[in-house]
Structure 1
Amino acid sequence: MKTNPKTESQRLHALRSLNILDTLPEQEYDQITKLVASICDTPIAMISLIDKDRQWFKSKVGADYCETDRKYSFCNIAIQSDEEIMEIFDARDDLRFKENPMVYGDKKVIFYAGVPLKDKNGFALGTLCVVDHQPRTLSARQKEALMFLANQVTKLFELQSINDGLKETQKQLKEKNNQLKNFAGVVSHDMKMPLASMIVTIDVLKAKYKDILDNTGLEYLNNLKKSSFQLSDYISNILTHYESDSITNNEESLKEFDVHSLIEDIVEMLDIGDDCDLSFPEESIDVYTNRVALEQILLNLIGNSLKYNDKPRIEIDIDFKKETDAYRFFVKDNGIGIPKDKQKEIFNLFSTVADNDRKGNKGNGIGLSTVKKMIHNLGGKISVESTEGEGTTFEFTIERIHN
């Protein structure tokens, strides 16, 4: 039986694109061959794949060889057959196998039944087959079971192909993400210095030409300075977002410290004014975790409570609990609140809810996304409860490391 060269090359391409040839045994395939041997009551069952010059077995029961020459392969004939099952009662009486060493040698393939394993494009890549050393036939139920199990093998092929595709896509996405991180880092660092120079230059211009500039000119410079600070803040947030993985994975940042001292440091950094009442946790409990990451998380959440607040007096209540396997934090405020329909969006990158903060500046939608990412990397979760116009409570956990 001759094969069409064009179709055969496409079939071989389909087979090799599975990346399954010469792979190690896998339980999913071995379970099928064991089951089909039991159902068909044969000493041998195999999942064969027909390569260019050989027949290779992905799984086998009752055979001690991994591959055979294609020109002597029963399965090679089966994949070119139009039959759903190619069944040979006694190969010694079949002219196609008259001089086949598989029939007359030590292996003695007398009975054979094989179902072609066809991919979604109809290419027969191999067979699920059973072999016996004596003449026999399969019952209708055995044939049906053989076809059902052959279908399961093709589904395993498809799943393997999909998984390989997903792994390749994941690899490419990881590479692209690393490129984006590097790009963001380089661009952000390169922009920081010119921005700092712009801010300094604006102050110099205001001081040097204060007697020449009118109110409109001074307003232009103030707006330029404000925009420069906003852009600088935006760049800093992007850097923190893309560096969050390295921050949370840095084992050198694992330290034992008390919660009160951390919050005191954050209060000092934020330069909280007299219009804010900030309540500390009742107890100053020692924790062992990534101090830098936790500082970034609380810095962002407390900073948001300060910025997005329209009350004459800002109230921020910070609470903390040490649990068996986690540290649990609460940051509660009396701010503007978050609309119910927006609460699921606030952790998305570049998602903003409020038009402007307390000072009239618009947020960039990076901070909470970074917070969620860091908390996830630290083995925890974050949730939000908020009532518009009344306030917001963020609750988050991080995994407790026992040192």
Structure 2
Amino acid sequence: MIHPPVPVNEEERLTALYALNILNTDPEEEFDNITELASYISGMPISLITLVDETRQWFKSKIGTNICDTDRDVSFCGHAIMEPQNFMEVEDSHKDIRFHDNPLANGREKAIRYYGGMTLVNSAGVPLGTLCVIDTKPNKLNENQIKALKALAKQVEILIEARHKNFLLEKARQDLDDHNVLLKDFAGVVSHDMKMPLANMVLTADVIKKKYGDLIGEEGVKYLNQLKKSGLNLSDYITGVLNYYESEKLAKVEIEEIDLHNLLEDIIDLLGIEEDCEINFPKKNVNIRVNRSALEQILLNLISNSLKYNDKEKIVINLGFKEVPDYYVFTVEDNGIGVKQEEQELIFKLFSTLSITDRKGNNGHGIGLSTVKKLVTNLGGTVKIESELKKGTKFTFTILAT
């Protein structure tokens, strides 16, 4: 018996094989389909997809045997990978000097008398193992059968490459999910921890202004007002971040039946509107089954934007609703300042701010509308914007009807 030689690029070969993360994995239907087809085409009772590691040949897929692996130093596949470009055929192992006294070919059930194998290589041409067929009696394949087995081997290579890419993508997704969890936890902790000092800062500014306003003079009061404004602005920013990262929790709240007009009235009360404003509800009131908390947050953000980004003496907001198959459709339309066409694609991106200021001269934080999109998406819907500068903006969003 002649033991399989070691390829000159053995270190590179093993590195490539181990990097695939395929050794010792469970059977997969895609690979089993190919070994079944190889057995059928060749007429052989045994078909294997083997991967040759440092000490053994391991079977990713097997037909006609229950053995999971064998030692590399007695393997037929160890010889086959030495000439990866060729189909290796042993018509009768007892007449081949390499295998005539091989323990796999003698004195055992299903001893190998015929072997035909095509080497499997990666994209760089490095041999990994074989697709092989085996018979317990001498045999021979015709030219068409060998051609078909070579084609199947190419499909195995494609499967292995696709499997590896899917593995890398899944790992990247999991790493990203883990990172996002840490980021959410960090954002939550930092935001909560910052809200109290900010509230104290705003309160202290008011106290100083009231008690010592005469002593610090007009310029000192101006600085205190700026300090208070900055504190309130940062507090709003933190609240926006918390709302964004907690929006997934809102999407999991149970569905309930609500009166649409009652919901809208509650939202208007929460906003505490001081401006001259006309808000028109949908003409027809309906009861709908929705996630109230999530819908309330969506409408709060959109109506609040219609109030803030409006330069008209009288603000007009029209709220619309209709039902279509499987969906509820809501609209929030205003007579505000509008959004430039080229900026409308950016408006739903987190932390993306536009070149506009609100009614009080403040810049947005780029959180509210990204929260809206996230909530709408979690509710199975979509959101879009239609806007014209100085004429107004219309948001349309859908959510799945339940």
TM-score scaled to structure 1, two decimals? 0.93
Distance 1:19 1:188 in 2: 41
Amino acid at match of 1:190: D
1:88 pairs with 90, 93, 103, which one?
90
Cross-structure match for 2:175: 172
Cross-structure match for 2:213: 210
Matched positions, count: 399
Residues 5 and 93 of structure 1: CA distance in aligned 2, closer, same or farther (over 3 Å): closer
Residues 6 and 291 of structure 1: CA distance in aligned 2, closer, same or farther (over 3 Å): farther
Give secondary structure in 2 for the equivalent of 1:97: coil
Give secondary structure in 1 for the equivalent of 2:257: strand
Distance 2:170 2:354 in 1: 36
1:52 pairs with 51, 54, 58, which one?
54
How far 1:372 moved relative to its partner? 0.4
Cross-structure match for 2:368: 367
How far 1:53 moved relative to its partner? 3.2
Distance 1:100 1:4 in 2: 18
How far 1:6 moved relative to its partner? 8.2
Distance 1:6 1:78 in 2: 14
Distance 2:22 2:309 in 1: 57
Cross-structure match for 2:249: 246
How far 1:199 moved relative to its partner? 0.9
Cross-structure match for 2:24: 22
Distance 1:372 1:45 in 2: 52
Q: Is the 8 A contact 2:49 2:129 kept in 1?
A: yes
Cross-structure match for 1:282: 283
Cross-structure match for 2:166: 163
Within 5 A, what are the aligned runs for 1:233-382? Answer: 233-251=236-254, 254-273=255-274, 275-382=276-383
Within 5 A, what are the aligned runs for 1:49-198? Answer: 49-81=51-83, 83-104=85-106, 105-198=108-201
Q: Is the 8 A contact 2:114 2:137 kept in 1?
A: yes
Distance 1:336 1:366 in 2: 19
Distance 1:203 1:133 in 2: 94
How far 1:339 moved relative to its partner? 1.4
Q: Is the 8 A contact 2:213 2:220 kept in 1?
A: no
% identical aligned pairs: 50
Give secondary structure in 1 for the equivalent of 2:246: helix
Amino acid at match of 1:325: D
Amino acid at match of 2:134: V
Deviations 1:214-262 (A, max 9, x none): 33222221111111111110110011111111221233xx332211111
Residues 77 and 6 of structure 1: CA distance in aligned 2, closer, same or farther (over 3 Å): closer
Q: Is the 8 A contact 2:4 2:78 kept in 1?
A: no
Amino acid at match of 1:262: L
TM-score scaled to structure 2, two decimals? 0.93
Deviations 1:97-123 (A, max 9, x none): 111233233313222111111123443
Gapped regions of structure 2 (runs ≥ 5)? none
Distance 2:268 2:84 in 1: 79
